[in-house]
Amino acid sequence: MGRLFGTDGVRGVANADLTAEMALGLSVAAAHVLAEAGTFEGHRPTAVVGRDPRASGEFLEAAVVAGLASAGVDVLRVGVLPTPAVAFLTGELGADLGVMLSASHNAMPDNGIKFFARGGHKLADELEDRIESVYEEHRTGAPWERPTGAGVGRVREYGEGFDRYAEHLLGALPNRLDGLKVVLDEAHGAAARVSPEAFQRAGAEVVTIGAEPDGLNINDGCGSTHLDKIKAAVVEHGADLGIAHDGDADRCLAVDHTGAEVDGDQILAVLALAMRERSALRAETVVATVMSNLGFKLAMEREGIRLVQTAVGDRYVLEEMKEHGFALGGEQSGHVIILDHATTGDGTLTGLLLGARVAGSGRSLRELASVMERLPQVLINVPDVDRTRVGTSAELSAAVADAERELGATGRVLLRPSGTEPLVRVMVEAADIEQARSVAGRLADVVKSALG
């Protein structure tokens, strides 16, 4: 069996790959592993459980809550809230564990389980590995030790989570958003209520699209993976900017007043300069992944800001930030971590801070984002291949070496297996878009033939 945990929890098609039995079993295993690790020592444990609006989240939430309570963990159900809200509330309420049910930007049939440790931080790899092995051990027959009587966990609704999270977001802002008109695309997802509420409380005039989740329409032609609607809406409403979330709102992408996309690299660049201006960018350093555009690296060098790069995945960005005390990091996809105010990527917080920079500086987002020039970058996702063989195929290694020779110092190639889906990502940067497309297309063909 392959590893259940990917770069962002356990994901799969709900009720096929990710079943109620698995959700229950993983939750019980997590409770036992954290008890073993001493997390619950000396007190009765508590968990915060939230979800995005997917229909499958209803039965999966029930399974997770049942599993935790059966293992003696008290549960606070916070309902439909963004992933970063569940992380925040886990820390804020002093809970021992947080659980979020979401498959983020994936299509509606998928779902996922993400665990947070005390304080709202993602679980360490070794704890995830231990949860998986304990789950497997008991799935194949070893009985659980179960509490009885007063030892079973109690379950209650925690309705105050919405307001506590919204107030937390407002407390992170250096200035208000008065005078700003913002379009928000909520992807029919977890932030459909709380994100517009936070922007309005901050003083912005808000137009919302994609804010009517029905359990089936999450990420469907909207949100941060489908920007056409928000681009049109920003222009139509004469807005200053647009903010597009994904299904669980742990990321955002932006659109300037002309309808042009502002990606995660540009958002990072704008926030890095804003934070340095108010002495909040510790060590004058920003953390990003190897997927960041070469133009971002060049802009940071020109502005005298140090760039530290990590493997792809916001968890690796976060590890680097925590280890060295850096304040800002993120990914091109729009996962941005502001460590003074969040333990994970927070799309609503990022959008609010971007809006605050526009409002406070009196400059348009287009002007602010022009601090960096994006070099042409082509990304091709190659599905239905054996992603585990990326580093071992001689045919693929030779093709990459040829491509790197062709591009020389003006571009680069990056091949990586997805951490959440059965595909390989081929990324090529070049000074010329046609060259980037040509090289990426050839490499994608080799990936198909070598790993298919």
Which residues partner with 412 through β-bridges?
429
On whether the CB atoms of residues 271 and 354 are closer than 8 A, the answer is yes
3-class secondary structure, 158:
coil
> Could you identify the residue written with the tokens 């070496």?
401
Known binder of ligand: residue 445? no
Q: At what angle do helices 83-92 and 161-171 cross, to 10 degrees?
A: 90
Known binder of ligand: residue 133? no
Known binder of ligand: residue 250? yes
202: which residues sit within 8 A by CB, 6+ positions away? 170, 173, 176, 177, 352, 355, 356
Which residues partner with 97 through β-bridges?
47, 117
- Give just the sign of the alpha carbon dihedral 87, 93, 98, 104: negative
Q: Is 104 a catalytic residue?
A: yes
330: which residues sit within 8 A by CB, 6+ positions away? 264, 267, 268, 287, 288, 314, 317, 336, 337, 345, 350
Known binder of ligand: residue 248? yes
On whether the CB atoms of residues 268 and 311 are closer than 8 A, the answer is no
The active-site residue, picked from 27, 104, 195, 224, is 104
Question: How is the beta sheet containing 241-245 ordered, strand by strand?
Answer: 205-209, 181-185, 241-245, 252-256, 261-262
Residues marked as binding? 104, 246, 248, 250
Binding-site annotation: residue ranges for Mg(2+)? 104, 246, 248, 250
Known catalytic residues? Answer: 104
